[in-house]
Amino acid sequence: MAIVALAGGVGAGKFLRGLVRAVPAHDVTVVVNTGDDRRFHGLHVSPDLDSVTYWLAGRADRDRGWGREGETFRATEELRAFGAADSWFGLGDLDLATHLHRTSLLDRGVPLSEATSHVAARFGIDARILPMTDDLVETRVEVAGQEGEPLDLHFQEYWVQRGAADQVKEVRFAGALAARPGPGVLEAIAAAGAVLICPSNPIASIDPILAVPGIREAVAARRDRVAGVSPIVGGAPLRGMADRLLPAAGVEVSAAGVAEHYAGLLGGWVIDHRDARLAGRVEGMGLRVAVTDTIMVDDAAAEALARVALRAALGR
Ligand code: GDP
Ligand code: CA
């Protein structure tokens, strides 16, 4: 059975490792957020595509979450010694090779989707990894800075450079209206036996995917076969700063709040034991609710979670 997963970075990467243990990897198509892509030192960096790739390849650094295991940061240290403008963003030495290779392909006119397949093939990944679009979509965060001054920041500037310290006014996806879904994205969703929304940041990772015209409608059309896993456990994100972005989008920071945010897309919703008291509220939205352990401490835990999510999508 063909399965599509909508994915951000680390939460998705862990979950997908479980999913490809539960079903054959070649049945899985992952549609990945590219809204937080940015050029650093002239290189096209795609943090979520790379997180998904490294996790599926078994090359991710499990403790740090992002980047590759056994990584060193000598080039970044050298860039910092130069005072290079972009050196606030740490890029590992092994990771740099991915960015160099991808950028050289893009600069020769190869679309991001093709460059992504190239990278995935080198890592021996059997799942299909698709960027949400080949076009440029940029997640912008409008904030009030430390002195209350209005700032319009790239997501990475808000998140990494400034440590999510600013008061968020609005998140928008610049370029989304003119973007087209990546090749194969709509077809994969239409043909899928199940569509899963990974436990990713709803505002920064999943919403940009849904903002590409056609994708939200394609998922909604499959609503009976769609399930998601809550990235909010016990009223807080497990890591990251999703709790800073959700309120700005008017979303309650809870497993039920995120389900409401995805209203119209979901048939099923998976929440953690710690949030079991919210099950009735989610059922009240007309969703199938599964309550389970959603903390993916290892691949076995992720596999068990993936099986529950598949059952929630299929209604059995
Ligand atoms: P990125 O890596 O910063 O792009 O972040 P993601 O879009 O993957 O989102 C991070 C989200 O993943 C956070 O809200 C975390 O709570 C969630 N997450 C990370 N690990 C787990 C886990 O083991 N279980 C669940 N349910 N959520 C997780
Ligand atoms: Ca991300």
Residue with tokens 């992952």: 30
Which of 25-34, 141-150, 223-232, 267-276 has the least mean pLDDT? Answer: 141-150
Question: What's the 205 CA to ligand 2 centre distance in angstroms?
Answer: 6
The answer to which of 108-112, 164-168, 225-229, 238-242 has the lowest mean pLDDT is 238-242
Q: What is the pLDDT of residue 236?
A: 83
Residue 316 pLDDT greater than 90, yes or no: no
Mean of pLDDT values over 189-196: 98
Is the pLDDT reported for residue 244 higher than 90?
Answer: no
- What was the pLDDT predicted at 223? 97
In whole angstroms, what is the distance from residue 103 CA to residue 162 CA? 26
Mean pLDDT of 255-262: 98
- Ligand 1 mutation target, pool 52, 239, 298, most atoms within 8 A of CB: 239
Q: What's the whole-number average pLDDT of the chain?
A: 96
In this structure, which ligand is nearest to the CA of 206?
A: 1
Question: Average pLDDT of 274-281?
Answer: 98
For ligand 1, pick from 201, 232, 253 the residue to mutate: most ligand atoms within 8 Å of CB: 201
Q: Is the pLDDT of residue 185 over 80?
A: yes
Query: Which pLDDT band holds residue 22 (cuts at 50, 70, 90)?
Result: very high
Q: How far is ligand 2, taken at its centre, from the CA of residue 38, in Å?
A: 11
Summarised one tens digit per residue, pLDDT across range 74-129 is: 999 999 999 999 999 999 999 999 999 999 999 999 999 999 999 999 999 999 99
Token code pair at residue 299: 């691949």
- Provide the pLDDT confidence category of residue 29 given band limits of 50, 70 and 90: very high
Query: Does the pLDDT of residue 241 top 80, yes or no?
Result: no
Q: What is the pLDDT of residues 125-163, one digit of tens each?
A: 999 999 999 999 999 999 998 899 999 999 999 999 999
- 228 contact partners, CB below 8 Å, separation of at least 6: 196, 197, 198, 199, 258, 259, 262, 265, 266, 268, 269, 270, 309
Per-residue confidence (pLDDT) for residue 237, from 0 to 100: 81
Closest CA to 32 of 15, 44, 50: 50
Contact criterion met (CB below 8 Å) for 312 and 269: yes
Q: Measured in angstroms, how far is the CA atom of residue 108 from the centroid of ligand 1? A: 34
Q: CA-CA-CA-CA torsion for 186, 191, 197, 203, nearest 10 degrees? A: 10
Nearest protein CA to atom 1 of ligand 1, as residue: 9
